[in-house]
Amino acid sequence: MISYTLPDFVKLVFALCTGAVLGGEMTASIAELIADRVDAMPAGERRAAHTLVANYPLIGLKTVAEFSQAAGVSSPTILRFVARLGFQNYPEFQSALQDELAAQLQSPAARPLPSVAVAGEAAPLLAATLDNLRETFRHLSDRQIADIAARLADSHGHMYLVGGRFTDPLARYMAAHLAIIRPNVFHLVGQESMWRDRLIDMGKRDVLLIFDIRRYQESLVHFAEKAHRRGVHIVLFTDQWLSPIARFARHVIAGRTAVPSPWDSSAALFVVAETLIGAVTRQLGADSTARLAEMERLR
């Protein structure tokens, strides 16, 4: 386990985010509340948490009895789990999940344009982006960063990266960096049938990084499921409402993406990707330095 310190850039962003420009506090999603509190939960409540994340959010919209049966715990354990997340009762918990489900299914056309003057358009977008960064890193622990970085630094297997319609540039950017500091890094491009053809080469020693935000890409979900069946270690980069791929992922990074625009923002996930690139480089240490030096000699 490494001792991880956020880059000075991210610290600066945090400082800006705590300023008056942001105005108010964003409401944490239930997935974020779980990430914050799961380490303090008894075993039964952790099983409830893992069951909810693996079937997010639909299992939480069922009755207490159905949720408890799916999690293999008692109904009182489900109610204690809900209370630990800060809800007064089960209906209040379900109401929050229903609101999240509605947000998850929104298309860009359903999101109204902000009513601001053209000259002032940048300010609310900047404020929301900074808030997204602050909230994303507030729910992303140093331990999780270290665990993911350690897995990405293990070059015994292959690493594959892929994203959706708007998030694949993040996968390509991250792959370009990681391919410099460790071997066997592949960005999956081209037709979706070509991704599936790569499954034959994937196994338990390999890791698959997937970027998927609302509206979630069905082809990515199917691809993740097939990779999961082959024992591939999946790291998911998604939004606060969680892509269905979460049920197959070993690690889930839920970044804030909503901004005052019909389009979601990937800025927070981009900074997470850069943070991980730096963490992996430090994990590899002398190996990455030697690899870089050899690359320079081959140019």
pLDDT at 111 over 60: no
- Of 273, 240, 261, which Cα lies nearest the Cα of 128? 261
Instruction: Inform me whether the pLDDT recorded for 119 exceeds 50.
Output: no
Report how far residue 65's alpha carbon sits from residue 261's, in angstroms, rounded to the nearest whole number: 40
In whole angstroms, what is the distance from residue 104 CA to residue 215 CA? Answer: 7
The predicted-structure confidence for 169-181, as pLDDT tens digits, reads as follows 999 999 999 999 9
Per-residue model confidence (pLDDT) at position 7: 39
Tokens (6 digits) for 132: 């997204």
| 15 burial via Cβ count (<10 Å: 0-12, 13-18, 19+) | exposed
**Is pLDDT above 90 for 118?**
no
Tell me: pLDDT of 291 over 70.
yes
In this prediction, residues 261-289 reach a mean pLDDT of 93
Does the structure show a pLDDT above 50 at 236? yes
**Strand 207-211 relative to strand 251-255: parallel, antiparallel, unpaired?**
unpaired
Distance CA 116, CA 128 (A): 14
Alpha helix (H) residue ranges in the chain: 8-17, 30-37, 43-54, 64-71, 75-84, 90-104, 122-138, 142-153, 168-181, 192-198, 218-229, 267-284, 286-298
The tens digit of pLDDT for each residue in 29-70 reads: 898 899 889 889 999 999 999 899 888 888 999 999 999 999
Residue 275 scores a pLDDT above 70: yes
What was the pLDDT predicted at 13?
Answer: 35
pLDDT at 113 over 70: no
